[in-house]
Amino acid sequence: MLYGVQTPRRRDAQRNREAIVRAACDLMTSERAVVGMPEIARRAGVGQATLYRHFPDRYALTAAVIGLQVERLEACVAATRQQPAAFRAMLDAVLRAQVSMRPLVRLARRLEPAVQGRYLRRIVALLAEPLRRAQEHGHVRSDLEPGDLVLIFTMVEGVLAGTLDGEAEARAAADRTIDLALDGVFKA
């Protein structure tokens, strides 16, 4: 970079990186069981060498996709800051994303525990303020703590992992678990 001006190559590199993350996000948050790096490169319109130059392995790419999802959650939290009742829809969306984004969740579970913990703490921290506001306005039971959200995430993940009847049955059981958990957390 010369005098604060990006060269065309740097802009191309940034565009390629963004295209790779978007493509990976689309594929890792889909119904697919497995997502390959060649398919991500094709979807992004780049060669595999370009993909690996930006992301040396699938775990680096997984971290970038999780980062993008967390940024989207941040935007949602900011957009609903003055709407305490929106916390139910927000938590519902986060839990249903956990169910629908199976490829991403499976890859995230393979990240180093410290990395997993960092993302989980960031998500809980993001949800803590909307939770507090929802409690202040009487939408959520007063004894729920931000750390309890981890218990709910774990419950949903346990149902998905523990259902032996197949993917459709696991999703149905997870959806039922989410409904029950939300009914237990939110006041009528």
| Mean predicted lDDT score pLDDT of the chain | 90
Concatenating the DSSP letter of every residue in 73-102 gives HHHHHHHTTT-GGGHHHHHHHHHHHHHH-H
The pLDDT of residue 8 is above 80: no
Could you tell me which CATH class the domain 1-56 is placed in?
Answer: mainly alpha
| pLDDT tens digits along 30-68 | 777 677 899 999 999 999 999 999 999 999 999 999 999
Given pLDDT bands bounded at 50, 70 and 90, which one contains residue 187?
Answer: confident
Are 87 and 130 spatial neighbours (Cβ–Cβ below 8 Å)? yes
Could you tell me which of 167, 77, 171 has the C-alpha nearest to residue 122? 77
Query: pLDDT at position 4, please?
Result: 54
What pTM did the predictor assign?
0.84
**Cα–Cα dist 153/129, whole Å:** 18
Are 122 and 67 spatial neighbours (Cβ–Cβ below 8 Å)? no
The pLDDT of residue 168 is above 80: yes
Could you tell me which of 185, 182, 31 has the C-alpha nearest to residue 99? 31
One-letter amino acid for residue 68 of the chain: L
Given pLDDT bands bounded at 50, 70 and 90, which one contains residue 11?
Answer: confident
**Cα–Cα dist 14/17, whole Å:** 5
Higher pLDDT, residue 13 or 46 = 46
| pLDDT tens digits along 91-136 | 999 999 999 888 888 888 899 999 999 999 999 999 999 999 999 9
Query: pLDDT at position 9, please?
Result: 62
Per cent of the chain over pLDDT 70 is 94
The pLDDT of residue 6 is above 60: no
**Cα–Cα dist 133/91, whole Å:** 13
Query: pLDDT at position 103, please?
Result: 83
The pLDDT of residue 2 is above 80: no
Q: What is the SS3 assignment for 47?
A: coil
Query: pLDDT at position 106, please?
Result: 85
